[in-house]
Structure 1
Amino acid sequence: MIQVGIVGGTGYVAGELLRILMLHTGVEIRFVYSHSHAGEKITTVHDDLFPLENMYFTDKVFPDADVVFLCLGHGHSSRFLTENHFSEKTKIIDLSNDFRLKENRQFGNRHFVYGLTEINHQQVQTADSTANPGCFATAIQLALLPLAHDKLLENEIHIHGITGSTGAGKGLSETTHFSWRNNNISVYKAFTHQHLGEIKETLTSYQKEASRYPFHFIPFRGDFSRGIFVTAYTRSALSEKELQEKYRQFYAKSIFTRVTDQNIHLKQVVNTNYCLIHVEKHENMAFITAAIDNLLKGAAGQAVENMNLMCGFPQDTGLKLKAVYY
């Protein structure tokens, strides 16, 4: 058994982490940190986690925990690690964007490995710290990595992605309010989304010349609570059959990314840690669709994947979740 702590325990991602970890056969939840809710029952915030009704938030960390998940807002993880010291043996898994870019991955004596398990499986296994990819970044990278791997990104790339309201976190704003979001759709951060940096770093690590081509990403706010659905297209000389074979080969050993011949939809992946990918060819365009649950494969589930690899558990431990289809 390993002892696990969660910092920033009141958000959606922390709630999903707790849901997974309380059923994980190799984990004991040591502490759930929340400065604003210290002393309160966890179920006062996460009332779906009533099996944890005897567990309380704390404003103290346990520096000897085996694994600590940082579920803090962007820019806060590095500050928290500066102010709170953990044992050298404590493995850190950060879910913010503080350590995702190469220039930020060294933090004191810690080196953060980029935790996209489909490509960094071995590096994660030996890491003392991992930077969990962003939710949109996860879906988009998985949609395009087979092309970059085989040096097939040779033209500009167009991407559209729609995300559920939980992707914006628990903090209330006009665009997350039910009466605004319901029966509505809108574009936000067109061409400037914060996940573009990590996406481009990963793709160009496989294909340097890909940096020469424009990368157009239009994100949408969807009128649903969870899930990400991405479409991407770029010119390709390969046939549909050749493209599909490239994708199948690239993900042949992947546990959680599946390539399917059928058109995909969000209900297939919501409440799971899977990414589904479908590939088509239209005239001279390769057309790729990808779907994930933003709170699981895009956040908490992928973080548990990283923990499993770092701690020697089978990668899918605690993550054998069925989609909520109806």
Structure 2
Amino acid sequence: MEKISVGIVGGAGYTAGELLRLLIHHPQTEISFVHSKSNTGNPISDVHTDLLGDLELTFTDSLSYDIDVLFLCVGHGEAKVFWNENEVPAKVKVIDLSQDFRLDAEGNDFVYGLPELNKHKIKEANHIANPGCFATCLQLGVLPLAYAGWLKDDVHVNAITGSTGAGQKPSATSHFSWRNNNVSVYKAFEHQHLKEINQSIYGLQPDFDAKLMFLPMRGDFTRGIYASLYTKIEQPFEAIKTLYNTFYADAPFVHVSESNPHLKQIVNTNKGIIYLQQYEDTLLIISMIDNLLKGASGQAVHNMNLMFGLEETTGLALKASFF
């Protein structure tokens, strides 16, 4: 098989940096260009300094469609602008990492790129909307229950994310002096990822009429999401465990743990780890991912593998940063 020719738009941010780290070691890809208006002409390794010696390309402000797949790593709202201003040929597959095409709408032909939900659709798609990081983590926790029609009550969620979830552009709450030894809640009950989560839940369980009560939190660490979810449940615990193991039997990156997990198990991997515990009539679900990999660039590569008929784990056999 000839190598897949890749173009990247929005090459200076965190998700593009992670994408480049994956693609330079992917056995079936070659990087054609990395687009960045703000860094045109600069070596990519000047921005992503860990790539010194690994990648000799410079950023460009020109586009080429002599490629097989285009990754959009631009900010939210910018992908639609790019899409409207540029005619991407039908032969070029597109994977968008922003939130611009995740929600169903008239004229939107982007397939929602959560492989554990839409693997078969992804294989046939030309355009993919990569899910959000919180959205991925929370959906991995609740979608098996929605699939079985077992969600009957509000789902309470507390999830904490690393500072890279805020993107590379500095802000008051991503500054080291503020973030260090600190924790805070933001966008309580109104986080933008709730829309895509609810869209997936309703797609599996149309009669779901309760709420996701979501408290997102900023954590004092760089990467990873640790989410704890709980809800009232009627089914016996053994049936719930069987449901989760069956639902994820064909999902190579999602693992249902028998022991209470910790965040370091998923940092720097494309894994999702799920842990279940029951207390009386309440089910506790722990769900963990690396926000930059399974929550962004790793999932984008997973989608690319599916779109081009590759083994879905290709280029994603990553080691956890355990110590």
**Matches of 1:21 and 1:118 in 2, distance apart?**
22
SS in 2 for 1:229: strand
The corresponding residue for 1:279 is: 276
Match in the other structure for 1:187: 185
Instruction: Give the one of 87, 100, 103 matched to 1:101.
Output: 103
Q: What does residue 53 of structure 2 align with? A: 51
The whole-number CA distance in structure 1 between the counterparts of 2:83 and 2:51 is 28
Deviation at 1:153, TM superposition (A): 0.3
Query: Which has the larger displacement, 236-245 or 315-324?
Result: 236-245
**CA 1:53 to 1:22, structure 2 compared with 1: closer, same or farther past 3 Å?**
closer
- C-alpha separation between the residues in 2 aligned to 1:317 and 1:85? 30
Cα displacement (A) at 1:8: 0.4
Give the aligned partner of residue 205 of structure 2: 207
Amino acid at match of 2:195: G
The letter for the 2-side match of 1:90 is V
- 1:127-146 Cα deviation digits (max 9, x unpaired): 00000000000000010011
1:102-121 aligned within 5 A: 102-103=104-105, 106-107=107-108, 111-121=109-119
Q: Deviations over 1:69-116 (max 9, x none)?
A: 000110100111222222210000000000000116x34xxx100000
Structure 2 match to 1:84: 86
SS in 1 for 2:94: strand
- CA contact 2:24–2:55 (8 Å) conserved in 1: no
Structure 2: segments with no counterpart, 5+ residues? none
Q: Which moved more, 1:19-28 or 1:237-246?
A: 237-246
Q: Which residue of 2 aligns with 1:245?
A: 242
Corresponding residue for residue 227 of structure 1 = 224
Number of corresponding residues? 321
CA distance in 1, matches of 2:207, 2:214: 19
For 1:69 and 1:138, the matched residues in 2 are separated by 19
Aligned amino acid, residue 233 of structure 1: Y
Deviation at 1:64, TM superposition (A): 2.4
Q: Per-residue deviation at 1:214?
A: 2.2
Question: Hey, which bits of structure 1, 4+ residues long, moved more than 4 A?
Answer: none
Contact 1:31 1:58 in 2 (8 A): yes
Deviation at 1:246, TM superposition (A): 1.0
* Contact residue 239 and residue 281 of structure 1 kept, 8 A: no
| TM value normalised by structure 2 | 0.98
Q: How much has 1:53 moved relative to structure 2?
A: 4.4
- Distance, in Å, in 2 between the alignment partners of 1:253 and 1:92 is 25
Tell me, in whole angstroms, the C-alpha distance in 2 between the residues paired with 1:229 and 1:270: 11
Deviations 1:261-310, CA, capped at 9 Å, x for gaps: 11011100000000000011011101100100000000000000000011
Code of the aligned partner of 1:287: L
SS of match in other structure, 2:188: coil
